[in-house]
Chain A
Amino acid sequence: MQHYQFDSTRSVEEALRYLSEKGERCRVIAGGTDLIPKLRLDDIHPEFILNILEIEELRGIREEENSITIGPTTTFTEVIESKILSHHFPCLIQAAVSVGGTQIRNRGTIGGNIANASPAADVLPAILALGGDIELRSKASGARTLPLAKAIEGPYRPLIRSDEILTRIIIRKLEGKTRTAFEKLGHRNAMARAQMNLSVVLRLDKEDKILEGRIVPGAILPVARRMKDAEKVLLGKPPEASFIEASVEALADEVSQESEVRLPEYKVPVLKNLARRLLKQCLLKRFE
């Protein structure tokens, strides 16, 4: 049984004031697609729930000169419908499309996906691959910005203090020739928790040599992160199958080493196959 006081606010300042008082006893709600099931199953018992969906400042997608800012209460549907995001970050769109079904996408938010920090999240790894930063604000400390890569401590444990709200997601525009890809594997084609997903972002030079590569598998490690060994293999290399293969092998080693828990047998081989597929898709004109 739930006994909480529900409050709604239109202002970030008011929200921060509220959280500075109620902090630990309060849960912030946006789309509610993760929070409401927890309330229903009595997993959590907050004393207060603060609805931040009415705060205009937390919505919207804005293009700056070098970066794009996404409000945390932007829904997955709004992400998908955004021309700015489609143009600059196609893999983010693909990740958002893969979440749930229409109704979930109409309520679930990009900030919620980050704040929930599920190991099976779809959008969070895509943002990691894009090198996103998040801005957190509190009444006590004002604003702080940190890379998303440094913001998740463990499964369901984002480094967001109880008096803080996630206020912006900032993604730097990709310079030059870029290729992005995303694929999700699930037991059915909609409404499925990821068995595995993979986000790939590559920047290429004029000769298609790889300037920078970012590879982020999701739903395989407790916390998604860039696979630096696999990425390093590709640096400076031309787009050739042999280097892709070497990168895929490095990826497999990196994932296997990191995992404290023994991974189910199929996960690493399938991840290799996915990585090979996405890298070829990005790099080779003809691929299987």
Chain B
Amino acid sequence: MEKEDFFCIGRSVPRIDALDKVLGRAAFAEDLSFPNMLYARVLRAGIPHAIIEEIDSTEAERMPGVVCVLTAKDIPGVNRYGIAFQDQYALAEDKVRYVGDPVALIAAETEAIAEEAVKAIRVRYTELPSITSPRDALAAGALRIHEKGNLLLHTKIRKGNIDQGFIQADVVVENTYRTQMVDHAYMETESGIGMMDKQGNIVIWSANQCPFRDRRQMAGVLRMRENKIRVIRATTGGAFGGKDDVTVEIHIGLLVQATRRTVRLVLDREESLLSQTKRHPIEIWTRWGATKGGKLCAIEGRVLGDKGAYAGLGAFAIKKCGIHLSGPYFIPHIKVDSYSVYTNNPFCSAMRGFGVTQAAIAHEAQMDELARRLRIDPLEFRLMNALDHGMTTATGQVFHDGVGIKATLEKIAEVLSNDPSLGKDRDKGSTRRKRGIGIGSMFYGIGYGFSRQDISSATIEVCEDGSVTLRSGEVDFGQGSDTILCQIVSEELGIRYDEIQMITADTFTTPNGGPTSASRVTYVTGNAVLKASRTLKRTLQAVAEDILKEKDLVFVDEEIHSEAYPHKRIGFKELCKECHQRGLQTVETAWFDNTTEDTDPGTGQGNAYSAYAYASQLAEVEVDVATGKVEVLRIVSATDAGKAINPANVEGQIEGGAAMGIGYALSEEIKLEKGYVRTKSLGEYMIPTSLDVPSIESHIVEVPVSKGPYGAKGVGEPALIPTAPAILNAIADAVGIRVIDLPANLENIYRLIEEKEKAPKRER
């Protein structure tokens, strides 16, 4: 494969952006300011479903300091956009479909004036009945939220013969799981600032995950050519999928166009919680069958996803949920139907895990319940059924390398055997506090799959003085991708990674990296960077061979030398100068196409993804049966990253993912009431604090995937997905209750414990 002693790969080097961030000088969108700037504010519907009868903005327009008020009638282009389905409106036209629907835009001289002006806009609505559950939306005669009807997408998996499958089953476990609506809760809310430059281009800096896609969305609405719109990613304070869709970009563009001034739009936290995309609440009914020998034979499932008011990217998340419902296991007969259904709830799109986070809640609970019924150890049961090389996935795809699920389970088994007391003593805390352990495993298709364009590119330029610039369209929003990509260049060219000029995510100056999502950057953009590096290296190498009169040259420590005769060397800088003087091309752009073929629409069978990532986690919890409070005592994670290009980075993802998973399992919930958002602040939306997260032991398991750069895969989402399932299984182990409605908060746990106490003892 690759040489194992790497110069830069596999080293936990400090991140290239860390210095600016610790100095407080990294410029996030809200930190940018220009003279004569205007402040924008959005008027949101405040009502879940209604027809707009009239918008009266005269009072607002008259207010001193208000420069511009825009509604749908002022939109110059087409008032429709959407990444996958064009069902969204830059500003609401005839009706509003959820409480956060944008109705009007204001730009004013100060933030305070903008806030006041928004309140002065009078909108007359005729309220419509609001539909707040997918079941209601699918009921016969239900009101249509969009003209095309409330079912947005129905996708299927049909593998084998489900009836045959269940005939073979000796044991069947059936349950309906319900996951809650969750927010990304990044520390930086959606923000951006835009202006018009002297050439009439609109320039926007925003916290985003894909400037190229945002540009595309903007162009249609603004009636501008894409090449006149420049979208630049500002330093972004967390994204996790929430900045994947357009957030503030179109609104800023409209206001810049209308005022020709610089406009800043920063959503406040309440607005972010109310109006920005969320994780789908999904109801998963599923029925699993296994033989008494412990082999899974059949899975049937129905995934009902609450899309909310608009599609965003979310139909694919629900589809991905269905595809991953069977988990990282081999099952010959699978029948799953996934439904994305519109409702008048806040709309859901991409959030870390993209549907698989929800699927794992179901599949890991099912595995434990089956294991219990079969009286097989849960870890053993997983190992018995784990996917391996040569086996077919739920979509009938076969991999011959990179299937690391068993390796991750074996790592967990190793940890358990080194700590014999772990999980053995339920009453270790006291009789009122019960301890338990649980396992969560997962797999995750890297990239987009299904013939959705999944391409990335990168450009490397070597200057005459040997300094190197890397241009890539991907976005580092904290996950460390910028550093990883520099490490790849560093490895290939033997130069210092931290001296590379990294320019990213600017539609005027960088090639299209594709969106930063789906844990794809290391794999897809990494491959593009690798390709470009190696092409450049060949050019440089040819010149070096000519100069040194040796082949078999090594690029390391800023010089190139002969492997056999190390004294025959030339410095990297010298070599670059020589290349330039010979008139050689030292700029290389490379593409990597990860686009897969589409699967059969009737059966979902095909080569859906080019690679999967795998992970298992073990959680130890302590449940206070007196109050329902769950403490997570320990998390052990074994993640198959293929190859960890920067191990500290991978650990950082795992640690952060585990914390997010703890919140998902135990405390986070966007509470909705008839379409109204009742969770209004970060005080009410509770993400874990430092006192809620235990030590996380991360083990990086490397089962290289041949197509990944150095065998690497993505890890961002795999870091999160196993945590909540492991915690829920640990709770079941501790107190014998099965949480099927998330979150497993105080009230939920206490109620389940009480119910169990009161229930007649029955055969388990």
Contacts and interface: CB of A to CB of B under 8 A. Distances in A.
B750 A266 contact: yes
A192 B668 CA distance: 12
B683 interface: yes
A190 B691 contact: yes
B589 to A, nearest CB: 48
A197 to B, nearest CB: 12
B661 to A, nearest CB: 14
A185 interface: yes
A193 B667 CA distance: 13
Contacts of B684: 193
Contact of B627 (A264, A273, A288): A273
B465 interface: no
Contacts of B691: 188-190
B647 interface: no
Interface string A163-202: 0000000000000000000000101111111010000000
B74 interface: no
A277 B750 contact: no
B751 A189 contact: no
Contact of A1 (B112, B629, B746, B750): B112
A269 interface: yes
Contacts of A189: 689, 691-692
B751 A188 contact: no
A266 B746 contact: yes
A41 to B, nearest CB: 8
Nearest to A277: B626
Nearest to A100: B683
Contacts of A1: 112-113, 115-116
Given A269-B750, A288-B431, A188 B686 contact: yes
Interface string B416-458: 0000000000000011100000000000000000000000000
A185 B629 contact: yes
Interface residues of A, number: 21
B683 A193 contact: yes
Interface in A234-277: 264-266, 269-270, 273-274, 276-277
A270 B667 contact: no
Contacts of A188: 667, 686, 688-689, 691-692
Interface in B681-699: 683-684, 686, 688-692
B94 to A, nearest CB: 31
A101 interface: yes
A266 B747 contact: yes
A264 B746 contact: no
Contacts of A270: 626-628, 746, 750
Interface in B283-342: none
* Interface band, chain B: 20 to 34
Given A101-B689, A288-B431, A269 B115 contact: no
Given A191-B683, A274-B626, A288 B750 contact: no
A225 to B, nearest CB: 22
A288 B430 contact: yes
B507 interface: no
Contacts of B689: 101, 188-191
A213 to B, nearest CB: 20
A265 B746 CA distance: 12
Interface string B709-752: 00000000000000000000000000000000000011100110
Nearest to B662: A188
A183 to B, nearest CB: 9
Contacts of B747: 264-266
A284 to B, nearest CB: 14
B683 A185 contact: no
A277 B431 CA distance: 12
Contacts of A185: 627, 629, 746
Nearest to B754: A269
Contacts of A187: 666-667, 686, 745-746
B752 to A, nearest CB: 11
Contacts of B113: 1
Given A266-B628, A266-B751, A195 B746 contact: yes
Nearest to B688: A188
A265 B751 CA distance: 8
Nearest to A193: B683
A198 to B, nearest CB: 11
A273 B750 CA distance: 11
A277 B112 CA distance: 50
Contacts of B116: 1
Interface of A: 1, 101, 185, 187-193, 195, 264-266, 269-270, 273-274, 276-277, 288
20 contacts: A1-B112, A187-B667, A188-B689, A188-B691, A188-B692, A189-B689, A189-B691, A190-B690, A191-B689, A193-B684, A265-B747, A266-B746, A266-B747, A266-B751, A269-B750, A270-B627, A270-B746, A274-B627, A277-B432, A288-B430
A-B pairs with the 9 shortest C-beta distances? A273-B626, A189-B691, A190-B689, A266-B750, A190-B691, A187-B667, A1-B116, A188-B692, A266-B747
Interface of B: 112-113, 115-116, 430-432, 626-629, 666-667, 683-684, 686, 688-692, 745-747, 750-751, 754
